[in-house]
Structure formats: C-alpha cells, structure tokens
Amino acid sequence: MAKIHTGLPVGTQWEELQMNLSIRIADPAGNITIFVMSHILPGQYAPVAAQLLAHQEYHAEQVAFRVLPRLGGDGRIQMMGGEFCGNAARSYGYLLSTMLPGEPSLVKVEISGADQPLEVKVDRENGRCQIEMPLPIGTEVIPYHGVQYEAVCFDGIVHTIVPGPARDEAFVKGVLAAAKAAVPSSAYGILFAEGDHMVPVVYVCETDSLIWESSCGSGSMAVGVLRAIEQDNGEFRCSLHQPGGIIEVTATVENGKVVRCSMGGPVTLSDEITLELPEC
C-alpha cells in the first residue's frame, strides 16, 4: 500500500502509518477532481495521482492533495503538478464548508500557484460556490503558424485563447509548444472559444499530462479577462458553456486594468471513499 500520513498534526509532525487512502471526489461543471484527504509525501504526488487517474470509474481529470495551510487560510491543497486550478480551489472551499465548525458560507482556500488565500462563497442550499480569483499577472502574444494568439498569464498557469471551434491534437500540441517557448509556467491551457462556448485543453508539466477537460475555471476566467479588457472600464459578466457544464465569470476593469475577477457555478461532492494503492 502507499505510505501515507493521516490524521491531524501533533505539533508540526504528521504521524506516519501504512494504511488505506481516503479520497473525496468533486464535480465542478464536469471538471472532476479527486481530493486526497490522507497526507502523503510530496515525492509521491505524481505516482499517486497517476494511479488515481487510472481509475476510469471516477472519470477524474485532476488530483489535489490536502496539506497544512501556510498563509492563514482555512485549508490548503497542492495540485498534482504544483499548478493552479480555480475549479479545484472552489470545490475545496465547498468541501471545507462541510467540515468546519458551523459550516461557514465563506471560507479561505490556499492552493498551489496562488500566493494568498482565496475567498470562496458557498451556497449549500443550491449546491453552488463562487471564488475570488487571483488577478492575472499579465498577457502575452503567442505566435503560431503566422497567427498571433492572445494568452492570459496567472501564477501557475498560462492560457492561450484560440478563437473558433476546437481543432485537432496536432494543432493543440503546436500551440502548446509555442506557449512553452514564450512563457515559463507549471501548466498551460489551450482554450477554443466561440461566442459563449469554450472547449479547454490543459497540459501539466510535472505529470506530462494533456487533458481535454470538461470545464476549466481559470481558463474561463482568462476568456472573461480578455473580453473585459476590450471594454476598457466596468464590470463584465458571462456564462461559458463547456463540455461538462457552465461556468460563470465576472471581471471588473478600471482604466484598462483588471482589478477584480471571480468565477463559480454548481459543484457536487462524493462521500468519503477509502481505497488501497500499491506502494509508490
């Protein structure tokens, strides 16, 4: 079985045990995320994530690991490749709300790729949550085959927006290579955006995984940011229909600069699942 750390910390140390792995599964607009609730060693993240993603019955697209908060948040997760993920962050906020005393409707989530806790507003009655997203750190132009594609850069992930319907994987890999050459990051998104529809593809460097995702929170935010900048001032709202569901985004612009952005929508959670993994 996998060597894991479990339970609450005694002082600053985790008790090391050999036991089953505890997980919860979240479904935020189809971007299914496995939360590893047992505490395992960072060196095991990639192999454990690979084993969990291989469980086809979960239909999972990513894995996040519960770790100790560092920045004063109510909880923290580390994504499988150290990337940032808005859907995982808001889903974990929803999960934290069910675990914390009083089941608060506002929680603060720490996540890899974000340098401060993010506020998640939880509406348990309607099964929804909304997260205040980190502001983009800038935009870039990604040249590929004579076309200049716009990219929005967040800490932990860079999203390149391709207008129009989805194209084949050869095109995706070509744009991905161009984006990697232009901007260093832990992860990259290629977003095919057409009107109020979007098809996201996400590559995570640490795990060398390229996934056509059912939805993408930070990718939705990237599209919203670009469209908000085009109107220069005011609040921009849109709902982006994706293969797995709808994500709602809001971006506020002042003098051509994004000063606030948030995204959200429905989320569902599984009960706790316990399973055994081969030792990593």
Tens of pLDDT, residues 116-156: 999 999 999 999 999 999 999 999 999 999 999 999 999 99
pLDDT of residue 10: 37
Over the chain (280 residues), what is each successive 10-residue block's mean pLDDT?
39 43 96 95 91 94 96 96 93 97 97 94 96 95 97 95 97 98 96 97 93 96 94 90 97 92 96 84
Q: Which residues contact 183 (CB under 8 A, 6 or more apart)?
A: 140, 151, 153, 158
DSSP string computed for 105-155: SEEEEEETT-SS-EEEEEETTTTEEEEEPPPP-EEEEEEETTEEEEEEEET
Could you give the CA distance from residue 41 to residue 263 in angstroms, rounded to a whole number? 31
SS3 86: helix
Tens of pLDDT, residues 30-45: 999 999 999 889 999 9
